[in-house]
Amino acid sequence: MIDLKSAASGAERILIAGHVRPDGDCVGGCVATGRYLKNIFPDKCIHVYLETVPERFSFLAEEELVSNQVADSSYDLCIVVDSSDSDRLGDAREAFEKAGSTLVVDHHVSNQQYGKENVVVADASSTCEVLYGLMDPEYVDERVAESLYIGIVTDSGGFRYPNTSRKTMEIAGRLMEKGIPFHEDMDRCFYERTYTQTQLLGRTLLASMRVMEGQCIVAAITRRMMEFYGAKTEDIDGIIDQLRIIKGVEVAILLHETGHQEYKVSMRSNKVVDVSKVAAYFGGGGHVRAAGCTMRGSIHDVCNNLTEHIEMQMM
């Protein structure tokens, strides 16, 4: 398996890019990769591109390497972190396509293997777990370690999701040994909420409905709700997980209205349903227990189409 040091050794201009609407694993992975390579190659030109970073991860993106703009489209190497296909690269896609060499590092089972080099470990807890395996621990300083830890802890649901393994915990332990403020990171990632986020969560839970004899719960966040509370897209984070942990629920579905009769669909399951198969049918993707897609139609039409495929797996 290729490692980051050898992949970057022959390149002078390097771009590290994540997917649109980056989450903790994407932000942590991109920042960690940039900082790690800069530790090894201080004289190389290294840029990290991240679209608007959620506020709770903004402290990671304070690195001087990070920008929400692609400097230009001429790079010797482009490393893509946590993106299952090139369509999700946003403004970095042109630079990726023109780069002399490309490396894709990911853990999504739906990854299209679209790089010249691909390291995809589908059973890993996170892309940050995969990245750690491509790093020499000698160059993993506290800042790199904290970025990787946040990626691992967010994508594993605080080490609660089935993708958490002994290896995941061992890596987390090694990162903690670097002196990172892991207790503060856990609070920041899972427990701290703004008043707006709390209001939106309460409203969404109140408006949720159970179907399939209570085995599936569905909730929708409309544009009108977002406007009423003055909420941003990142304020939706974590709501789907509150739906998933309701007793008796196998699948939680959260619909976020993004346009007229257009919804970003997030799905989570607990034990039985492979939601990645449901998402893939509708043009999306993800993991066995966490996946998403975009769908059009009324709320009831979208729900009926989704639950039809969920029921097929529960027969």
- pLDDT at residue 2, rounded to an integer: 87
Average pLDDT over residues 94-99: 95
Q: With cut-offs at 50, 70 and 90, classify the pLDDT of residue 91.
A: very high
- Single out the residue of 276, 42, 249 nearest to residue 139, CA to CA: 42
The pLDDT score that the predictor gives to residue 55 is: 86
Residue type, 226: M
Range(s) of the chain covered by CATH 3.90.1640.10:
4-191
pLDDT at 106 over 80: yes
Q: Is the confidence at residue 286, as pLDDT, over 90?
A: no
CATH top class, domain 195-314: alpha beta
Indicate if the pLDDT at residue 71 is higher than 80: no
Q: Is the pLDDT of residue 39 over 80?
A: yes
The pLDDT mean for the chain works out to 94
List the structure tokens of 179. 């002196």
- What pLDDT, on a 0 to 100 scale, did the predictor assign at position 217? 98
Question: Please, where in the chain does CATH 3.10.310.30 lie?
Answer: 195-314
Cβ–Cβ contacts within 10 Å for residue 71, how many?
13
- Rounded to an integer, the average pLDDT of 280-300 is 92
Mean pLDDT for the stretch of residues 113-134: 96
CA distance 241 to 201: 11
Q: How confident is the model at residue 161 (pLDDT cuts 50, 70, 90)?
A: confident
Reply yes or no on whether the pLDDT at 63 is more than 80. Answer: no
Say which amino acid occupies 259.
G
Task: Give pLDDT, residue 109.
Answer: 83
Poorest-confidence range of 24-28, 29-33, 139-143, 237-241?
237-241
Three-state DSSP class for residue 105 = strand
CATH class of 4-191: alpha beta
Q: Which one-letter amino acid corresponds to residue 36?
A: Y
- Kindly report the pTM of this predicted structure: 0.85
Whose tokens are 């396509």? That residue is 97
- Cβ neighbours for 238, distance < 8 A, ≥ 6 positions apart: 190, 193, 197, 201
